[in-house]
Amino acid sequence: MRAFTIIAAVAVSTMLTAEPQQKEVSDSEYITQALSAAPKSVAEDAAVVRVGKDGSMRTLRAGKNGFTCLMMGTDKMCNDANSMEFIHAMMNHLPPPDKVGISYMLAGDDGASNTDPYATGKTGDNHWIITGPHIMVFGPPSKMLGYTEAKDPDPQKPYMMWAGTPYEHAMIPVDPAK
């Protein structure tokens, strides 16, 4: 139940910053798209949740492995419980948990500011970056990996997103951007 509460909070919070999907897709297509964020071995037993336009959330598929796949705007992600807590903390301006978390975004992303966790679009000075298929590692150990903290890193190499903020985390590309 705690994981569901965290997921619900994240889903509602992301409605404030995520752009809506371009078109409404069926639940079946949504499940397929959300699961595309994870490796097959993770996607097999992951839960899938769908966020409604009003911020409500519904579980489309129960999970068995602790991962939850969802779409925020057009970005697809599969998160373990610790990364869901991290995202929840960020969205609510709370201190992040002192736990290692992992999130898969194997479908890549549509871009984000590399310096401002709360930016909702590209500006001339927010160092917008688009990363192809990648994983994210959250928590204090990610800061010890030695990845660049450059504001404009090469998105085909590992880097730290939001360096110098409490929400700093490792971005690890796993395939060139398409």
User: Cβ contacts of residue 19 below 8 Å, gap of 6+?
Assistant: 73, 74, 120
pLDDT in tens, 8-23: 444 444 443 444 445 7
| Regions in the chain scoring below 70 on pLDDT | 1-22, 54-56, 176-178
What global pTM score does this model have?
Answer: 0.84
Q: What is residue 50's predicted lDDT score, i.e. its pLDDT?
A: 92
Q: What is residue 13's predicted lDDT score, i.e. its pLDDT?
A: 43
φ, ψ at 76 (rounded to 5°): -110, 135
Q: What is residue 52's predicted lDDT score, i.e. its pLDDT?
A: 74
Q: What is residue 89's predicted lDDT score, i.e. its pLDDT?
A: 92
12 alpha-carbon distance from chain centroid: 14
Domain segments of the chain as ranges: 2-81, 99-173
